[in-house]
């Protein structure tokens, strides 16, 4: 099997991970492109004794470490100016371990292989990241979801992780009205809504008014991770777990100080 055929099924998920790790679609995609270019030039190769997906994430981290595991300078300056305390608390290695385990679904042992670490070290890193998230990231969350059971499940998860749910919308128009009224710090949205309207369209309209993170939830993430623009920075696959929701919300808020604490909501 060719290297292209081997890697193609895993690239959408690597892009998702890189975007969550860096907090930016552009930055995450740039890292993935650089990795693919290095592979095409023969500078890096997949390890044959490691399953392809693990091997791909492992060599991604080789590239990531060449930058010191640092954010791009412009983004780093932006983050440091607004959430310096959280940046210090949520160190890169802790963020990596948490995302690989809770969002990408790797076991602790697999994460240890990817990060060239040990299972106990990975467990400590995940615990440290979760403590940092719990410490200072409480925010106002709006949910856009037309299936009642899923919406209530999400609401419970959000509340359990220390956030406040300002409302649940089931259609595009309702979501836009609710966002303008409630001014949430973060949005969790499904893709397909009750009246056949789109959560993507709702989010786009809301983002024209507010600079807030949006986390998309879908049973078919590959449909949104095609390499074409626009694509989500934050994406949760159904079925989801409490830790996945918690980690993704924490990662999104890490890069976006909640407006309720920053003292502003509207982009000018």
CATH topology of domain 3-133: Butyryl-CoA Dehydrogenase, subunit A; domain 3 (1.20.140)
CATH superfamily of 137-262: Response regulator (3.40.50.2300)
User: Which pLDDT value is given to residue 171?
Assistant: 94
User: Which pLDDT value is given to residue 239?
Assistant: 84
How far is the C-alpha of 92 from the C-alpha of 125, rounded, in Å?
Answer: 10
User: Which pLDDT value is given to residue 137?
Assistant: 66
Domain layout of the chain by residue ranges:
3-133, 137-262
User: Which pLDDT value is given to residue 143?
Assistant: 97
Q: Kindly report, residue by residue over 184-218, the tens digit of the pLDDT.
A: 999 999 988 888 888 889 999 999 998 899 999 88
How far is the C-alpha of 102 from the C-alpha of 83, rounded, in Å?
Answer: 23
Show pLDDT as tens, one digit a residue, over the chain (268 residues).
567 777 888 998 999 898 888 877 888 888 888 888 888 887 777 777 889 899 999 999 988 887 755 555 544 444 444 433 443 345 778 889 988 998 898 999 999 999 999 999 999 998 888 777 666 667 899 999 999 999 999 999 888 878 899 999 999 999 999 999 999 999 999 988 888 888 889 999 999 998 899 999 888 776 666 655 556 778 888 888 888 888 888 878 877 765 554 443 332 2
Specify which residues 239 forms β-bridges with: none
Q: DSSP letter at 228?
A: P
Instruction: Please give the C-alpha separations between residue 111 and each of 57, 120, 135, 181, 217, in angstroms, as whole numbers.
Output: 9, 11, 24, 42, 24
User: Which pLDDT value is given to residue 169?
Assistant: 96
Do the beta carbons of residue 82 and residue 258 sit within 8 Å?
A: no
DSSP calls for 142-206: EEE-S-HHHHHHHHHHHHHTT-EEEEEE-SHHHHHHHHHHH--SEEEEESB-TTS-BHHHHHHHH
How far is the C-alpha of 86 from the C-alpha of 100, rounded, in Å?
Answer: 20
């Amino acid at each position: 099997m060719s290297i292209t055929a081997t890697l193609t099924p895993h690239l959408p998920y690597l892009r998702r991970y890189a975007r969550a790790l860096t907090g930016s679609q552009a930055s995450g995609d740039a890292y993935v492109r650089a990795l693919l270019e290095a592979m095409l030039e023969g500078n890096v190769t997949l390890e044959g004794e490691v399953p392809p997906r693990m091997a791909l994430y492992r060599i991604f981290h080789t590239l990531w470490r060449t930058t010191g595991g640092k954010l791009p300078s412009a983004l780093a300056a932006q983050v440091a100016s607004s959430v310096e305390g959280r940046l210090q608390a949520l160190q890169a290695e802790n963020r990596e371990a948490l995302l690989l385990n809770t969002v990408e679904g790797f076991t602790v042992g697999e994460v240890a292989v990817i990060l060239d670490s040990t299972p106990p070290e990975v467990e400590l890193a995940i615990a440290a990241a979760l403590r940092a998230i719990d410490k200072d990231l409480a925010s106002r969350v709006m949910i856009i979801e037309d299936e009642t059971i899923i919406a209530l499940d999400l609401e419970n998860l959000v509340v359990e992780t220390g956030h406040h749910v300002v409302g649940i919308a089931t259609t595009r128009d309702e979501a836009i009205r609710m966002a303008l009224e409630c001014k949430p710090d973060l949005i969790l949205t499904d893709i397909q809504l009750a009246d056949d309207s789109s959560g993507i369209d709702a989010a786009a309209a809301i983002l024209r008014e507010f600079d807030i993170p949006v986390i998309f939830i879908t049973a078919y993430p590959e449909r949104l991770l095609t390499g074409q623009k626009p694509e989500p920075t934050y994406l949760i696959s159904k079925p989801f777990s409490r830790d996945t929701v918690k980690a993704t919300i924490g990662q999104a808020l890490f890069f976006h100080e909640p407006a309720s604490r920053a003292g502003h909501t509207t982009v000018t």
